[in-house]
Structure 1
């Protein structure tokens, strides 16, 4: 565990299918048709900066806590509060006024007032962490209106958490806004499980994405946004305060056109890889599981690094891929490659791998990832952190750590978190949620690293030296959203032929843990790494491994 990180774990399996035999979908727009900005159906949320101060890098504040937590303001019922952006999970949860754990009591964020909460009778128990760390969030699942940047979704299922020790809550957020795909949604699974309990409920699940799915997935399905995408850029609040973080939903950010973005396909998972078994109304489709893309190569200071020799656990090693995860405050990669990089930049680490990878702050290094044939570097200012308060001479390369090798259900070798996203704007394009072969999911990348980044690092060091060795940091507050201007009214659930089953005690509970598991129904446990959706299918697979979403744990 590293002092400057936090680590939630959640299952991330992409499923987004609504069969043509259930209802008719509008013709999906090809990417070329989406080049023009759709102002009426796209919104941008700035991750605002309040003021710049000179202080320890561990400064607290909403919006951006020391480049570890990035929050956005949401309106849940009558409560306006800040939640963490997370592309590594799908569910929305907020701490409620009934949460009295030590973490909740010490939180500065506004708790959800459950006066408008409509209980579903279901509950979730989400466990976040990897094999060495973990946090937890649990509580009832219900419905309320949810608004973000003027877009409001009515009757949105979410968890009103009444018990958590999650670090995001302790350091300025009230919960998590998951931006992943519906198949990783334990909230949706919990609600569906109360209504369906037959082999056909996988079909029922995917046909209810428009009414019971995650927030942004519902915006996509209901046509509330013109383009099925969102983009994220993160500001830099440590070492050298700069950048303007924002979340843009439904269009490319202002000033960005399609020609400046490198587009690559999201990796698809076959059932043998731990992917989804296709529903009966789309038997030939193969689906993605997470925001994961192939990477061509990795470079350090312009030199291509050798391929990892670590052996994957029962999966094809011919494709190297990376999970793009805003909830991860670090970059994680294969143990041998990480050791090689740290040994190259830190003589102390080269001599003793148990030592901290310290190095002179002035020795600028660039770690770059080749994606879609284009190099996307990590700014030298994002590669290192201050080693101690008052010391602008010695830094530590603690933003790069090792992760587990690929395995069934977790094919990625790298998890690229906030250091990468501070250096690169990333577009997350859902495509056709029902038939991905028609309009495949993809991701777009655009580097925002200036050509003089190394000089800017030197300037930041000089400035810190003149200020007692303290690098600049800032306090950011997630801006309060304006009045909602577009309301999404959910479509009533559509029957797929599955019979409703009267739930018995405990059947409405879904749990993810490490190892990830869901309880659907009570007394039946899913194998490690299994999507909550697999509880609804007619087949169960026991070969899935734990899906670890690698966030840094404080």
Structure 2
């Protein structure tokens, strides 16, 4: 979703891309995905804030890429569950023309180009004449890179442009031509600086990773659906339990949803999106997680926007609960070390659960990005979301927790504390109200989002009313306008009048806007 706010500069929050090493598994049904810092400092505006003025070169974080073959050419494509279209930067001589054009708008940035057809090899599956966007290479999208959207086909712009099943998304095409393949994908993301585990990443189609078979026995989380009129906004999203987010003190964080379908306010809607590095959350949640950490400060950085700066040696823990299942978050995923400093020049880490920065959206409350997804093995069953299918089971999501809190603590000690377990600090006391503030209501978020426009229009109306009143008074009394002085004479003994100051107009200060985000992503 494009987000344009008067008076604000649009800037990307980051992001460095990572070159991946992808090798096919023997079954030919899944890919190994390995991330590492990108030596080329490439930028990909898939995700971003609407606050700030420059990008953040994120050489210490990860994005997850897999190799595909399209029309005989190899491309490294970002794995993105938050969007639904395939695009690559570069031309493919053997591609077929469709005569159609389309594009995708992300939180920051967009891609445009002709829709073409070429044979695709993805996770060992061959898809003939797969529809994709051909993007002209530039500094933002260098040749040989691209993105593969794994979201619901309902959100595919290419599908809408083609107007038939020939333009369906990649996974939909695989499921339709391989009817014996189970209609699910699974994703496992690794952690770059984890000293205990290696840094694998895997994506599968219709296959379960060895050693993670328990995923099939986990509770099936219902995919909450948006209205038919907003089908393009459909994402892989579900409900978090009531009081289902535990803060650093182990206690539930009080939050209220903005989603009308869950207007009781007790359960939040969360989107699972591999395209976001920083998880996007309501500000009240971010405040509750980081606000009681000694030395933490909430700032509006020019490089990343509104975010919490946290001392890197402070271990921050939190837990999510889905259908009674607790998902602990690794402390290396609650704050991220990008080797940045604060305004005083001291090194700080950044809170990985950032105040939501996508445009005001009432279909979800939270976007669970990489900082959450590195803590689960996720299975997404497409159900009847597959193009051309009907009378099948509803789509669902299953999560298998992969983080052991004790191991996570030791990892934090080894990485951030140099191996010395010196956790002799305590959380600051809670606010005087006794609990974190509730998240803004939908109405309040809307007011904040459009405040610059409201203030400008309001100021203009006040000025018009003031001038109108002066004109009416002049017509009734015959008085001259104040700017031309008084018509009558004044007695000599009266003091001289003070010089009239010209009318002033108070400028409306620019206001930071936290939208999803955004954010976002895919096209939030």
Are residues 1:418 and 2:370 paired?
Answer: yes
SS at match of 1:115: coil
d(CA) in 2 for partners of 1:152, 1:322: 33
Matched with 1:295 is: 240
Unaligned runs of 5+ in 2: 1-10, 18-24, 43-57, 421-514
Whether the 8 Å contact between 1:138 and 1:163 is mirrored in structure 2 is no
d(CA) in 2 for partners of 1:390, 1:546: 26
d(CA) in 1 for partners of 2:65, 2:41: 10
Alignment map for 1:395-414 (pairs within 5 Å) = 395-403=348-356, 410-414=362-366
Deviations 1:379-413 (A, max 9, x none): 1111112252799x9542331211269966x4110
d(CA) in 2 for partners of 1:47, 1:338: 30
Alignment map for 1:214-363 (pairs within 5 Å) = 214-223=169-178, 226-238=181-193, 240=195, 242-258=198-214, 261-271=218-228, 274-275=230-231, 289-296=234-241, 297-301=244-248, 303-309=250-256, 316=263, 318=265, 319-349=267-297, 357-363=308-314
SS at match of 1:236: coil
SS at match of 2:393: coil
Tell me the TM-score normalised to structure 1 length: 0.61
Whether the 8 Å contact between 2:79 and 2:150 is mirrored in structure 1 is yes
How far residue 222 of structure 1 moved from its aligned partner, in angstroms, is 1.9
Alignment map for 1:394-543 (pairs within 5 Å) = 395-403=348-356, 410-432=362-384, 433=386, 438-450=392-404, 451-462=406-417
Matched with 2:498 is: none
Deviations 1:168-191 (A, max 9, x none): x35x96111000111111111111
Change (3 A) 1:256 1:58: closer
Whether the 8 Å contact between 1:356 and 1:396 is mirrored in structure 2 is no
How far residue 114 of structure 1 moved from its aligned partner, in angstroms, is 2.0
Equivalent residue in structure 1 for 2:147, among 154, 162, 176 = 176
Change (3 A) 1:552 1:60: farther
Change (3 A) 1:436 1:242: farther
Tell me the TM-score normalised to structure 2 length: 0.64
Change (3 A) 1:42 1:269: farther
Change (3 A) 1:548 1:365: closer
> What is the number of residues matched between the two proteins?
382
Whether the 8 Å contact between 2:358 and 2:518 is mirrored in structure 1 is no
SS at match of 1:382: helix
d(CA) in 2 for partners of 1:163, 1:49: 22
How far residue 59 of structure 1 moved from its aligned partner, in angstroms, is 5.2
The higher relative CO (CA closer than 8 Å, separation ≥ 6) is in 1
**Quick check: which has more Rg, 1 or 2?**
2
d(CA) in 1 for partners of 2:382, 2:169: 13
Equivalent residue in structure 2 for 1:90, among 42, 61, 84 = 84
Change (3 A) 1:552 1:312: closer
Equivalent residue in structure 2 for 1:46, among 32, 35, 51 = 32
